[in-house]
Amino acid sequence: MTIDNNKLDSKASALETLKLFRIIFKSANRHFHEVEKKAGIGGASLWALAEILDVDSLTVSELAKAMSIHQSTASNLIEKLEVKGYVVRIRSLEDRRVVNIELTNQGRDVLSLAPPPYRGILPDALMNMDPLARSALCGHLSELIAGMSLKHDDSAFEPLGMT
């Protein structure tokens, strides 16, 4: 019996790639645990606070867009942050239908306790990648997902580290 070296190389390459995915997701999860331990807040919540801090005030739909999540997910996130006293909702004076979200001092304090990057290590690494490399990665990951027999496309708008 002969062993096809191309098959062995292909399997070895697939397993090496799997190891890289493990490193990515374990690293991201460990960062979320570090955030939780130091700041007492989940990764998605911390990212939301960081987005609000960046612009001083934003709407729920602007937050959803900034985090690439469903508006209902952003709304639930804001609700939890508001209950904890980290954010306040302020109705716009110009247009009473618009509600802006702003950080409280307590929200700023939580941010100061958390280890950066506040958006998480995976979003941060992706945002700092070379645009051409990121585009190629996106194409390759899309191809990978297309080859999966079971996929949850609806999870594309669910943040990692949602707590």
Query: Is residue 134 included in any domain, yes or no?
Result: no
How far apart (Å, rounded) are the C-alpha atoms in residues 41 and 126?
22
Domain count, the chain: 1
Query: Is residue 86 included in any domain, yes or no?
Result: yes
pLDDT on residue 107: 96
pLDDT on residue 2: 55
Q: 91: exposed, middle or buried (C-beta count within 10 Å: 0-12, 13-18, 19+)?
A: exposed
| Angstrom distances, CA of residue 104 to CA of 36, 58, 89 | 19, 13, 10
Query: Is residue 39 included in any domain, yes or no?
Result: yes
Ordered mean pLDDT values, 10 residues apiece, the chain (163 residues): 64 92 93 93 93 91 94 94 96 84 96 93 95 97 93 84 53
Domain that holds residue 30: 18-120
Query: Is residue 125 included in any domain, yes or no?
Result: no
Per-residue pLDDT tens over the stretch 111-122:
999 999 999 999
